[in-house]
Amino acid sequence: MSSQDQWSVLHKFKGILFSTMSSEELLNSLDCFDAREDDVFLVSYPKSGTHWIAEVIKNIPNARITLTSPIELGDISKFEELKTYCERRVIPTHLSYDMLPTNVKQKQCKVIYIIRNPKDTAVSLFHYYRENPNLPGIETWNEFFELFLRGDVVYGSWFDHVLSWEEHKNAQNILIIFYEEMKTDLSKNIKKITTFLGLNLTDGEINMIARKTSFSEMKNNAVKENCDPNHTICALTSNRRLVFRKGAVGDWINYFTSKQKRVFDELFTEKMKHSELAGHFGEYS
């Protein structure tokens, strides 16, 4: 990947790589955002399941909720656009805790943070880089692996991102959801999400949402609804076909060499030594 290729689609803001779809002006102005008490932020590192949670929320019956496009997508006019929504806003973002608008923290808006095993996240992001014209061209997995380890990828280091949110994991307004647990028991996690949002659903309604938001169902719908700007949940593309690839748990094993696994595990142990969340990935690593 040439540096020219990288800088045509990415730029650095506060030391972190962002897509040029997020203007520097907008990123600089995030603290001007006027949050509402009932706003919900849907947060994750890229390729961790934001679309999945968004689909769950979209399928909640009679919820009077509007799913917006990401807060960091576009230019300064984004804040005016967000003001136009009358219903309760669910706002996706891939921002770290530190970059979240101050107003959101002051008003203690609800936040759902989704975490996925970093090895599967790396593989998924590798494919995203290869297929998404809004990201730099990457030739090989080995090349991407090195970038991911260094945090030289869009939205920076997975470790820094997760740790920035873990610091606030006990806050009452933050709900942490694990991608792998969604795969194991979708209904249980839908119940967690709806309860957190203060919505009472019957078991029948929860099971209906689970049916509609199974991975295969979402992938089929993505093909039908491709490139609909109203379904832009990711600040990196509006092409829904790029979003749902495999959704598999443990697919990393088909990509990591034994040396890469060793190097990654050493880094994980070092970076996550004080993390309580790290234990969740044991059986998947």
pLDDT digits (tens, 9 = 90+) for 104-161: 999 999 999 999 999 999 999 998 898 888 889 898 999 999 999 999 999 999 999 9
In terms of C-beta density within 10 A (0-12 exposed, 13-18 middle, 19 or more buried), how is residue 267 classed?
A: middle
Q: What's the CATH code of the domain at 177?
A: 3.40.50.300
In this model, does residue 173 exceed pLDDT 50?
yes
Quick one: which of 106, 145, 142, 102 has its CA closest to 125? 145
Give the residue numbers annotated as catalytic, written as ranges: 94
* pLDDT category of residue 21 using cuts at 50, 70 and 90: very high
Domain residue limits at 252: 3-272+277-281
Domain count of the fold of the chain = 1
pLDDT digits (tens, 9 = 90+) for 53-103: 999 999 999 889 999 999 999 999 999 999 999 999 999 999 999 999 999
